A and B are shown apart, each in its own frame.
Chain A
């Protein structure tokens, strides 16, 4: 039976069919839906972990005990898990262990455009790259076979266009894979130098065997047609190549690391001109060039952004689609109407603070008119950056600066820098924007939410008590009460130590957060309310109006309007 599935849904289906028992992940666009879909299969236990390193290690532990396990993350999440991954490549696995890593060419929802295949290669972990949803499902099964046959973690590398495409998938039954026996084996699983030196030899030997084997795997496929042009590709872009160059000879790599050298030599000998079409870094191209084969790739495609059929048309056919420069106003994403972060940033901006930011919806506080953020790097970086600013510029500066970090991001990797700050007795103020959920990726519960992925109640990690235990001074405030929040900020900024302000108010998109829309009466058109950048407040010649389909009734506009022109129902 064929079913139309999202790429990520197909990967979850693949895990189900492969007899996977555990999927432990941390949300990150574009990988999030894999674990969400997998949680609908009662045969698979799924958990939103605290971060990617812990999720990988949890999956690794399950594999060690003999159950097939998987972790799904985005490219930058792989960096967090990399420490464990590099050494797991030495220990190998017991039952199969697969990492699904979603890269984001074009950066639809990411802070960089790194190519995860390079990390897999550096860790000596094989990489499979599916081209559509159906193949993604099949490749999950193949990845587990390779993982067990070669005793290694395996990466299934996808990109945004694979994760978020829908295509037809042929469904099969689940194969129940019996748990493997665990036998104590410190020479294999305890990586002290003496053991690790021997395991490094095993890693090299495994890679040699795999390098031979990939030449006979059906995952790598030659399609010989016209001999003038030969194009090697992998992943979602294979389908673009096939569309634009239906008559060219193609070599589709299902495994892009290690590359099948014998097949590549043969393919190169059968075509006059050889190209590699791959997104992001020249991973395949560099290896082919190192074999002494003449090949072109990145000099034509460049490193940046995602490829597209029209870009390939331009490269191979010289047909350039002329698009008139658009003068249409941009529509960047914005904080939703009713978002508590808007109130927080309004207060921070009024105090003219330097703001070290973090990763989440609140990164949108960077954009006009809130224009609040000075720097944002990666998950958990805000507190460390503020600490560095304190060291460099002293407390006169740090008393006019804050770090802002979300609840989920704080638990992900904000705890350690807070510990570091306390041990320096730094004069810094950290604002935890606690909206009770991991919002940006689509409302996954986190350890402070008190719910698991299935909606069951679980023990709630108390952020305030956690920060107190670390040794910070802790206050909780409702950021929608702008005056309270502002006066607390002023007080805490003067404190000669580590202060944590938990700005607690639920995400506007959570159930029951919507109140009746605000009404405007006798607006004097001072335009002060336009400074909060609420998409529901519209400017007009005779004063502002409120779009009642967008307004969530939060009342922030009523709080800041000096003339009381915004009326909340019942007030």
Chain B
């Protein structure tokens, strides 16, 4: 089993937590795993990209352009920005949420339209339905889970390991809504 995954979004959307949960799944499956994160300046509402690599033996902590199995994007513009990481037949799963960057607000750029080859999900709506708008990240993990071979028990264990007890229930609900949506939308 070998997966290279890019998680992209806007600073503050919780890509780091989502990446940690994926890494914990890899550890459970006794795989080697490496993550590469962006902290500091880039987190102040800027674009953030987290690399997640798992397999028998992982060397570099970063994924090359054109070689990711999945791009999981928490925001539409960041989905397009991270798309070049996808390999041929790689899967782009993206939240349809649009967060306007300052360049669009001030009129120096134009926010791009949706394109058809992405699996779009209204993650913000589902997160609100689960009970907290900040659970977009776990909704997205639910959607991604349809494509990964980890058992429901393994996901539950990793959630418990990585999420504070008081937020575990709402995130588990969010995960289930994301998973259910993707299963129905893609007939999985």
A367 to B10, CA, bound (A): 18
Tell whether, in the assembled complex, residue B106 and residue A369 are in contact, meaning their CB atoms are under 8 Å apart.
yes
Tell whether, in the assembled complex, residue B102 and residue A108 are in contact, meaning their CB atoms are under 8 Å apart.
no
Most B C-beta atoms less than 10 A away, residue of A30, A323, A331, A550: A331
A146 within 8 A of B: no
Tell whether, in the assembled complex, residue B100 and residue A166 are in contact, meaning their CB atoms are under 8 Å apart.
no
B104 within 8 A of A: yes
Contact pick for B39, options A323, A442, A533, CB 8 Å = A442
From 531 to 551 in chain A, residues with beta carbon under 8 angstroms from any chain B beta carbon are 533, 535, 537-539, 547, 549-550
Tell whether, in the assembled complex, residue B38 and residue A334 are in contact, meaning their CB atoms are under 8 Å apart.
no
B131 within 8 A of A: no
A539 to B65, CA, bound (A): 34
Please give me the residue from chain A that is nearest to B80 by CB atom: A328
Tell whether, in the assembled complex, residue A240 and residue B59 are in contact, meaning their CB atoms are under 8 Å apart.
yes
Q: Which B residues fall within an 8 A CB radius of A?
A: 10-11, 19-20, 23-24, 27, 32-47, 58-62, 64-66, 77-78, 80-81, 84, 99-112, 133
Contact pick for B77, options A308, A331, A336, CB 8 Å = A331
- Known contacts being A313-B64, A367-B102, A533-B102, is A108 close to B59, with CB within 8 Å? no
Tell whether, in the assembled complex, residue B100 and residue A538 are in contact, meaning their CB atoms are under 8 Å apart.
yes
Q: A165-B34, A243-B60 are in contact. List 6 more A-B contacts (CB 8 A).
A: A168-B27, A323-B84, A328-B80, A332-B101, A441-B40, A533-B106
Chain A residues closer than 8 Å to B104, beta-carbon distance: 329
Interface size on A, residues (CB 8 A): 55
Most B C-beta atoms less than 10 A away, residue of A30, A166, A530: A166
Please give me the residue from chain A that is nearest to B34 by CB atom: A167
- Known contacts being A329-B108, A330-B101, is A30 close to B40, with CB within 8 Å? yes
Please give me the residue from chain A that is nearest to B106 by CB atom: A369
Closest chain-A Cβ to B134's Cβ sits at a distance in Å of 9
Tell whether, in the assembled complex, residue B42 and residue A243 are in contact, meaning their CB atoms are under 8 Å apart.
no
Tell whether, in the assembled complex, residue B37 and residue A333 are in contact, meaning their CB atoms are under 8 Å apart.
no
Closest chain-A Cβ to B142's Cβ sits at a distance in Å of 20
Tell whether, in the assembled complex, residue B45 and residue A336 are in contact, meaning their CB atoms are under 8 Å apart.
yes
A549 to B136, CA, bound (A): 12
A2 to B30, CA, bound (A): 10
Tell whether, in the assembled complex, residue B62 and residue A161 are in contact, meaning their CB atoms are under 8 Å apart.
yes
A276 to B167, CA, bound (A): 48
- Known contacts being A239-B59, A328-B112, A539-B105, is A321 close to B64, with CB within 8 Å? yes
A-B contact pairs, 26 of them (CB 8 A): A4-B23, A29-B39, A30-B40, A108-B38, A161-B36, A165-B35, A166-B20, A166-B34, A240-B59, A243-B59, A309-B62, A310-B64, A326-B81, A329-B111, A331-B45, A331-B46, A331-B81, A331-B102, A333-B11, A368-B102, A368-B106, A535-B45, A535-B101, A535-B105, A538-B100, A539-B105
Chain A residues closer than 8 Å to B81, beta-carbon distance: 326, 328, 331
Tell whether, in the assembled complex, residue B44 and residue A361 are in contact, meaning their CB atoms are under 8 Å apart.
yes
From 129 to 169 in chain A, residues with beta carbon under 8 angstroms from any chain B beta carbon are 132, 161, 164-168
A164 to B39, CA, bound (A): 7
The secondary structure that dominates the A interface is loop
From 510 to 560 in chain A, residues with beta carbon under 8 angstroms from any chain B beta carbon are 530, 533, 535, 537-539, 547, 549-550
Tell whether, in the assembled complex, residue B133 and residue A549 are in contact, meaning their CB atoms are under 8 Å apart.
yes
A547 to B100, CA, bound (A): 10
Tell whether, in the assembled complex, residue A331 and residue B10 are in contact, meaning their CB atoms are under 8 Å apart.
yes
Closest chain-B Cβ to A440's Cβ sits at a distance in Å of 7
- Known contacts being A331-B101, A332-B46, A336-B44, is A168 close to B39, with CB within 8 Å? no
A100 to B101, CA, bound (A): 36
A336 to B45, CA, bound (A): 7
A109 within 8 A of B: yes
Chain B residues closer than 8 Å to A533, beta-carbon distance: 102, 105-106
Tell whether, in the assembled complex, residue B45 and residue A309 are in contact, meaning their CB atoms are under 8 Å apart.
no
Q: Which A residues fall within an 8 A CB radius of B?
A: 2, 4, 6, 29-30, 32-33, 108-109, 132, 161, 164-168, 236, 239-240, 242-243, 308-310, 313, 321, 323-324, 326, 328-336, 361, 364, 367-369, 440-442, 530, 533, 535, 537-539, 547, 549-550
Question: Which 8 residue pairs spanning A and B have beta carbons closest together?
Answer: A329-B109, A29-B40, A109-B40, A333-B46, A333-B44, A331-B101, A243-B59, A109-B41
Chain A residues closer than 8 Å to B102, beta-carbon distance: 331-332, 334, 367-369, 533, 535
A141 to B121, CA, bound (A): 48
A323 to B84, CA, bound (A): 7
Chain B residues closer than 8 Å to A367, beta-carbon distance: 102
Closest chain-B Cβ to A26's Cβ sits at a distance in Å of 15
A239 to B34, CA, bound (A): 11
Chain A residues closer than 8 Å to B10, beta-carbon distance: 331
Tell whether, in the assembled complex, residue B36 and residue A165 are in contact, meaning their CB atoms are under 8 Å apart.
yes
A132 to B35, CA, bound (A): 11
Closest chain-A Cβ to B161's Cβ sits at a distance in Å of 10
A441 to B100, CA, bound (A): 24
A14 to B39, CA, bound (A): 22
A126 to B40, CA, bound (A): 28
A168 to B44, CA, bound (A): 28
Closest chain-B Cβ to A323's Cβ sits at a distance in Å of 5
Closest chain-B Cβ to A166's Cβ sits at a distance in Å of 4
A330 to B110, CA, bound (A): 10
- Known contacts being A243-B59, A328-B112, A369-B106, is A333 close to B42, with CB within 8 Å? yes
Tell whether, in the assembled complex, residue B103 and residue A530 are in contact, meaning their CB atoms are under 8 Å apart.
no
A239 to B45, CA, bound (A): 30
Tell whether, in the assembled complex, residue A108 and residue B107 are in contact, meaning their CB atoms are under 8 Å apart.
no
Chain A residues closer than 8 Å to B35, beta-carbon distance: 4, 165-167
Closest chain-B Cβ to A308's Cβ sits at a distance in Å of 6
Please give me the residue from chain A that is nearest to B133 by CB atom: A549
Tell whether, in the assembled complex, residue B44 and residue A308 are in contact, meaning their CB atoms are under 8 Å apart.
no
Please give me the residue from chain A that is nearest to B124 by CB atom: A549
Most B C-beta atoms less than 10 A away, residue of A108, A243, A361: A243
Chain B residues closer than 8 Å to A441, beta-carbon distance: 40
Chain A residues closer than 8 Å to B103, beta-carbon distance: 329-332
A425 to B95, CA, bound (A): 58
Closest chain-A Cβ to B116's Cβ sits at a distance in Å of 17
Tell whether, in the assembled complex, residue B39 and residue A537 are in contact, meaning their CB atoms are under 8 Å apart.
no
Chain B residues closer than 8 Å to A29, beta-carbon distance: 39-41
Tell whether, in the assembled complex, residue A321 and residue B61 are in contact, meaning their CB atoms are under 8 Å apart.
no
Contact pick for B59, options A242, A330, A547, CB 8 Å = A242
Tell whether, in the assembled complex, residue A132 and residue B61 are in contact, meaning their CB atoms are under 8 Å apart.
yes
- Known contacts being A4-B27, A530-B106, is A165 close to B61, with CB within 8 Å? yes
Chain A residues closer than 8 Å to B62, beta-carbon distance: 161, 240, 308-309
